[in-house]
Structure 1
Amino acid sequence: MARKLVHEQHEGKRQEILAAAHRCFLQHGLQGASISMICKEAGMSPGHLYHYFPSKEAIVEAMANDYLAELHGHFNAHEDGASTATVLLSELWSMKGWDALSHCRILFELLAEAGRNENIHAILKDNTDGIRALLARTLKAGQERGEVDPDLDPGHTSAVLVAILDAAPMLPLMASDIDFEESRKLITTMVARFLQPPITAVGE
């Protein structure tokens, strides 16, 4: 019991550090945010922080991996019989507003850093590969049910869908008056129409 409590306390502190790092990265950028800034935001000394993460890069890696784990949860929580488009966009549909998606904006910091840092690029690629694998399995299941165009390659299509999912949280930055509910309905409609099998003309 004591060991479980220690583990929970350790994990709780890790999540506090990750939340503090996320706030720093959003405010100062991945390059601009330093370990000292993260320590100040988390209210701890560098020595204490290094007990949980050996480097800033380790913090970034944990953030990327946690995001993938969260996405797994959204995929597994959808209702049976839900449309393929709804399952694919399950993270978007789990949110209540644009503020709930603000955590995703760190992705654009990661994308910029990936062009400069091979380790970050590898982390990002590994996580994207994991997300694409989830999407590809959902697409294949949709094809088997006749919901998804059988001519679409699941691997290639999953990459296009990742781009759509990643771009969605940026909408309010580009158009401040855009409505969240209407936007995700439009995104779902767009994805559903993209995936639907071609209509066969009568007599063909």
Structure 2
Amino acid sequence: MGVGSALFAATYDAAARHAEATVLGPRRAALLSGLTGSVLDVGAGTGANLPYFPAACSVTAVEPDPHMRRRLEAKLGTAAARVSVSADSAEALPAADGSADAVVFTLVLCTVPDQTAALAEARRVLGPGGRLLFLEHIRGSGRHAKLQDLVRPLWSCAAQGCQPNRDTLAAISAAGFTVRVDEEFSIGPGWNPANPLVMGSAVPDRR
């Protein structure tokens, strides 16, 4: 994690400010409302979720990138919930089996190096009645999917590993979850490779 990572972290909040204020922020609030108990915020980034966690939560914000993590730590005062910060990865979550009430992924499953391992970890740590909550951009369909495939190498290089063509909903299902999509939406022009986005939840299958 070198100069590119530091620059991405330094410019992320400014680049996302309009989308957060108009589109993403209200959806983060809706997604996280009502949460209680032990919560893992996986790939917490610069802390965009922090203001929306209810005070009844105890949150572990998992962020392996040191540049993102420094900005996250500077925002801990914006959280009503109790928050601790972990440098662990999505593929090795800092929680015991069945100990979490919720695992949250917001705009991170596109970027984790091993999506399958990250989702397996989420399933491992969720306790009875626990939920996986997600707000992610996903693979489109038809010509849009082909565009995502075409731009993926350059997009990934510019956006710190983001893969715009990942079929994330299928991956969550394949990891042993029953998925419920509450909303599908877009940000900006429809051709944007980071569209469409989905918000919803998933519960472990009884397998």
TM-score (norm 2): 0.26
RCO greater where, 1 or 2, for CA within 8 Å and sep 6 or more? Answer: 1
* Structure with the largest fraction of strand: 2
* Structure with the largest fraction of helix: 1
